[in-house]
Structures are given as C-alpha cells and as structure tokens.
Amino acid sequence: MDTGDRFAGLLKGLKERSGLSYGALAKRLHVSTSTLHRYCNGDAVPTDFAPVERLGRLCGATREELVALHRAWIVADENRGRSGEPVVEPVTPLAEPAVGSEEPVEPLVVVTPEAVEQGAAPTRGRFRSGLAAVAVVALVVPGAYLVVARDGEKEPRGGAVAAPAPLNAGVSSYNWAAPCGQYYVLDQKPEHVPPPPPPQDTRPWARALGGVDGGHMQLQVTVTGRTQEPVVLSRLGVRVVERGRPPERAAYSMGDGCGSGVTPQTFDVDLDAPRPYVKAVAGQDGDRVVPAKDFPYKVATGDPQVLNLDVHTEEHAVAWYLELEWSTGDRKGTVRIDDGGQPFRTQAVEGRTVYGYWPDKGEWVAQQ
C-alpha cells in the first residue's frame, strides 16, 4: 500500500468508526469540510501533526493508534515533499504581499534560504487596519513554519557538487508539552491585541503581530532518513548568534494544554548558560516516563526519530539555531535547523506582565 494511502486509510477508518459527520469533525478541528475530505481521501497531507492528533482523539483513537497515525503522517508528509505537491505558505498579513518561490516548498525537506522571499516588515501605523486580516489568515495558514535545513557536508575535491544530506530534519510541532499553551512577547497594548486563534494557528498569529516566543520554547524536531541505509545522528548542538537584555514588553498566554505519537526523546537547552548545549533528560509519554537517552541515534526511510526540546531563558533575549551532525558510511555532515532561514528567537518573561484572554469578557486580563 502507498504510504499516503495508508495514512488516509487510517484517518478514514477512525472517522467512520466515530460515527461523526465530516461537517461535525471539521467544525471542531477548525478546518473546512472539504479540507477534511481531502485528508481522508488521500488528496492532501496536513503540514503539521497537531490537527491529525486532535482528529484521532476526537474519534476515540487509542495510544497505539495514535502512534501508528504519527508514523504514517511523518512518512506521507516526507513523500509529499518529494513529489512536489504544493503547500500553503504562512504569510504575514500586516506586511506587503510576499513574493513566492516558483518551486513548491515543504517544511521537512532540505531547501535553500532563497526558496522563500520575505515581504516587508509590519509597521505600527498599519496595525489596526490589519486586525481583520489576521483573523482571516489564521484560518488558512499551517501551524508550523517552514524550517530550513541546510546540508553542511564539504564539497568533494575537483569541484563536484556534494550529494544532498541523506536525511530530512525539521520542526514538526511547536509546544509539544502543551500544544494549546504558549507565551508570546508582544510590543502591543492588550486592547490592541486580537483574541487568540485556534491552537494550530498561534505562531502565524504571533508572527503577524511581531511576537517572539516567551520563556520556554518547546520544539519537536522530526528526523527521517532518505535512504534504506541507516544514518547515524551523532550530535545535536545549539548555536547562539545573539544574546542580550530582553525588552520591557508584556507576555500573552495562549491558554492551557492538550495532548503524542512516536515515543520521543526529550532534551533541555538552557540559553542562559555561558555555552548552551543540548542535554538529554527524562521525558513523559502519556503516563509513562521515558528515560533520558543521549546521542547517537539512527534513522532510515520509514523509521523516524522524534526529539523534544525545551529551549528556555529566564534572563535574556536570545537568537539561536540548531546543528544536527550525521554520518553514514564514509560520509558525514551537519544540517542546520532554523526558522525559515532565520534564527529562532526566545525572550525571558520573568518579571513581565502576563496577560490571559477571558472569552466571557472578550478582553485580555493581567495575570501577574
């Protein structure tokens, strides 16, 4: 069975077993009925696992079924990128229209920074008129931003072009511990901040408002092999490119959390350390504790590895990215994982005013 057909078959089976209509499920997932039809018919693959997990849970999927669904999604998502199927790019609704690449771009495929050209940055003067655009765009952009992974393997002698890295690496989920919760630091007054969007759209929403991840940034890095031969992941490093005092801005909470798939390994990154590094720590998979396990790992086609990272700062504003070292046979190299060609950015929220949204009041209320 084709990997895309297997993924669609699992989705459709869960949907039919639930007895719920496409319309009822789509409404609770915050997607259109036609989009859900395309997922279940194999005509499209979600760019993020979060809506797939929510669909599984709404349909009463067991833990084992969620694991199988996660594996099938990872492989189908990777194959979709290889086949060149177009995906919807996240956009900045307050900016000038971005100029898109002629080539379709896939979040987990190794691409170059030139694949996407960014539009102009939003300005304060255009903020109010752009709020309606934020609300509309939040319904159509995917939950995860493009992650650019670049192969750092040296060119062979003689000027020949190096072969592409034998793996794909990228962020498949943000805020893995509590997908519905996250802090964003915004340079906006609460009366000017629109209500928080559905969980899968929080990053596009925050990006449109010029927001930066606050306190703990939790990334789920998914690594898949592109060959049948195993690829050894020897080390994951963090490189800080900028660190300073955080600006005096308020933080906005996206709410409290939701729910897992392939058993992940968990790592901690303290950006306040003089030389930050990726430290293996014990994690949680449902009710089960997953013991800390450091590198190396192995990946191959259809056999992914999921790495959960809790990257945090209590004192600074930090720009950083990840470097994943790999080897196979006599080849080795480094893949850079970043945020759409730019470093990830994280700011401390300690001592800052934190706002939470109260739906019954229809406003943001200070929590501390």
- Cα separation, 366 vs 353, in Å, equals 7
* Dihedral sign for Cα atoms in the order 18, 1, 297, 155: negative
Q: Which amino acid is at 213?
A: D
The CATH number, out of the four listed (3.10.150.10, 1.10.287.70, 1.10.260.40, 3.40.50.720), of the domain defined by the range 3-83: 1.10.260.40
Looking at residue 152, its pLDDT comes to 54
Which string of DSSP letters, residue by residue, matches 207-253? HHTT-EEESEEEEEEEEEESSSS-EEEEEEEEEEEEEEPPPS-EEEE
Give yes or no for a contact between 29 and 51, defined as CB atoms under 8 angstroms apart.
Answer: yes
What value, to the nearest 5°, has the Cα angle with vertex 30 and ends 23 and 210?
165
pLDDT tens for the chain, residues 1 to 368: 555 688 899 999 999 998 888 888 888 887 888 888 888 988 888 887 878 888 888 888 888 888 888 888 888 887 765 554 444 333 333 233 333 333 333 333 333 333 333 333 333 333 333 333 333 222 222 333 333 344 555 444 455 556 788 998 988 778 776 655 588 999 999 999 999 887 778 888 888 999 999 988 888 899 999 888 899 999 999 999 999 999 899 999 887 444 444 667 899 999 999 999 999 998 876 667 888 999 999 998 878 898 999 999 999 999 999 999 999 988 999 999 998 888 999 999 988 899 988 888 889 999 86
- Cα separation, 160 vs 327, in Å, equals 20
**Domain definitions of the chain by residue range:** 3-83, 113-366
Instruction: Tell me the CA end-to-end span of the chain in Å, nearest whole number.
Output: 54
pTM greater than 0.85 (yes/no)? no
Helix axes 63-83 and 3-18, enclosed angle (nearest 10): 140
- Cα separation, 101 vs 216, in Å, equals 32
User: Quick count: other Cβ atoms within 10 Å of Cβ 4?
Assistant: 20
